[in-house]
Each structure stands twice: as structure tokens, then as C-alpha cells.
């Protein structure tokens, strides 16, 4: 699943470690999600959406639509 996390993170000047700290996950987890190698659960996706103040579908694209 593609996502815009890297862009949104860069807009705020955050490192992966910064984002990991905001989400209470590890930096490795942020990297796995950001590179599309791990699809987060709905609760984590909502936490991302709240943190970036964006709807979930503006952050994640499943590529099917």
C-alpha cells in the first residue's frame, strides 16, 4: 500500500525517530510503514491521520481505485 508519510513527515521537518516518538512505535516500524513494506492496523492509521491532521485516504492509497 502506497502512502504519503515521508512527504508529510518532511513537511514538518521530522526524522523517522521523531515520528516514531509521536506514534509511540519504533523507528524501524516507521520505516517499514513509510516504505510500504508493512500495512499499519486501523488504530495506528487513525493515529497517523490525527497526527498529520489529514483523512486516512489522503495518507494511504491502496492502488485499487
Please give the residue ranges that form the binding site for other proteins (CB under 8 A): 24-26, 28-29, 31-33, 35, 37-38, 40-41, 44
- Cα 22 off chain centre by: 11
**CA–CA gap between residue 49 and residue 57 (Å, rounded):** 9
**Which H helix or E strand runs over 60?**
strand 60-61
- Cβ 65 to other proteins, closest distance in Å? 25
Smaller CB distance to other proteins: residue 11 or 46?
A: 46
- Cβ 46 to other proteins, closest distance in Å? 13
Amino acid at each position: 500500500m502506497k502512502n504519503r508519510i515521508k512527504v508529510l513527515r518532511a513537511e514538518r521537518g521530522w526524522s523517522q525517530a521523531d515520528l516514531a516518538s509521536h506514534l509511540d512505535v519504533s523507528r524501524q516500524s516507521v520505516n517499514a510503514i513509510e516504505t510500504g513494506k508493512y500495512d499499519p492496523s486501523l488504530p495506528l492509521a487513525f493515529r497517523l491521520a490525527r497526527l498529520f491532521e489529514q483523512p486516512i485516504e489522503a495518507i494511504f492509497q491502496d492502488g485499487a481505485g
